[in-house]
Structure 1
Amino acid sequence: QYPTEPPDCLVDFPVPFAVSWVPQNSLIDIYNQFLAALESLKEFWDALDEIDGKTWVLEPENPTRSATTRRIAIGNNVSVNIEVDPRHPNMLPECYFLGADHAVNPLRTKLNNNMHLWDPEISLLKNLRELLEIDFPSRAVLEKIDFARDCGICYAYRLDGSAPDRVCDEPRCGQPFHHACLYEWLQGLPTSRQSFNVIFGECPYCNK
């Protein structure tokens, strides 16, 4: 129905690309709107590009330009999943820590205590470093194998594209598992107990 209606536009954006259109417009008008949309997302992409280049991102493995989340390695079986608002990339993102309680609880406390220090004038990565009072593992000196361990049940790192996201809370164990693997394992144990969608049971490695 062109030119009465605009042509379909497929873009790899983290936000909808809404074309402003009247029948008198041309494809050049759409192109200019596309360039303006690109410019409006520059800060968002710059923030995530810095994270991708200077930290070990566990997920997504190959992020697209529309991806708004990053799971960043912090240490051995400890990571933080952040979700960045494309419209406000310099604001504090949603943060979710993954790992054993004894490892992630101090990080949660630091984040809560230091939220007031967030500075929208500095980069997202620098803000996270200062709020959590940590240095993220550097791609320049460490390999992913240094902190990314295989699932203790299926013995693979990737399962349907996902990395292990559950860790034994026993400090002397700390074995990681895929959620799906651990859930299936615990369902098969007579000693496990379930409450709604949460299942409790012994670690396949240390029996704690």
Structure 2
Amino acid sequence: MPIRTNRGRAAVYRRLWGWPLRSPTHLIGTFIVVVGVLVAAGILVPRLVGDTGADASPTPGGQSQAPAAGGSSQDDETSSTSSSALPTRLTEPLATPSTAPPKPGALKAAADWASAWVNHPDGITNEKWLDGLRPYTTEEYLPVMRSVNPANIPATKVTGEPRATASYTSSAEVEVDTDGPTLTITVVSTNAGWRVAHYDQAG
């Protein structure tokens, strides 16, 4: 019959709590049961927790990750794994150009360009001066040359033969002496032939 009063429940609780104290045998039996429950809990709880951790989603490298507070540890590991998996663009040093003997066309283009560069009679316009350089200059470099004022060029004639200081299969560095500065001219091989792509003036 169900216990429906508080007094009845209290009596039952007193009997349950008082049962271990009735005799040494009851006390020892109660102690053994409590110890058994604690041991069983100590064995089962880690297994249950371990099974939950094993359900964590694996990373791209095949290793599982346990959730971390704030997600920072997981984010760091995921970022590191993703970064290591991506191929790097520069996996090897950049290849240097293959050296080659200076090409006659490269030397001639540099000499012709230098001759046009020093050809600036008084009163010549920039456009007229550029017309002399155009056949020996790359299309990309012509706009740069538009900023040069021919009246400021400190040379009037070429005084030496062109000489290659560096030569590759598709480009070369050529020096040309003038009655002013020595020109260091970069010539490159294009579909239209050898053309000047840059120059500097040495003192």
Place the TM-score, normalised by the shorter chain, in its bin.
under 0.3
Structure with greater helix percent: 2
| TM-score for the superposition, normalised by structure 2 | 0.20
Structure having the higher Rg: 2
